[in-house]
Structure 1
Amino acid sequence: MRIFLTGGTGYIGSAVLDAFVRAGHRVDALVRNSEKAAFVQERGGNAVLGDAADPKTYADAAAAADGVVLTAFE
């Protein structure tokens, strides 16, 4: 399954990211910068650079997903 995840570098989101990756799912996680992208990639996810407040920066990744999980706070 392909999952689009927001908040994947936070406390709850990183646990969600890890759980989906361990279960064999592809996780595309929205991140704000290259530092956060590296964090996601080190855990086995795929980073999607964008801004949660600007849907056009992640619309394609979200549309391609089988499911969307929102764990971002702000």
Structure 2
Amino acid sequence: MNDIVLSIMVLGALALLGGAWLALKRGDRKRAILMAILAVVIGANVAILSLPAPMGGAEARAASPSGPSRP
């Protein structure tokens, strides 16, 4: 499910960049800049969300060689 969301976000960012180029071509510089900034923000979110999560807490205890520890 996460892969689908990330793919849609990338497609949206690409569409925003295309729209920014068209807006710039028509002379609407302010809208083009805002669309490009939004595409960069979406790209940064995709990069952050695609990083692997650090292993800690319950995952680390379950993956330890001695098995889950009970206090």
* TM-score strictly above 0.5: no
- Structure holding more strand per residue: 1
Higher-Rg structure is 2
Please, what TM-score do these two structures have when normalized by structure 2?
0.27
Structure with the larger helix share: 2
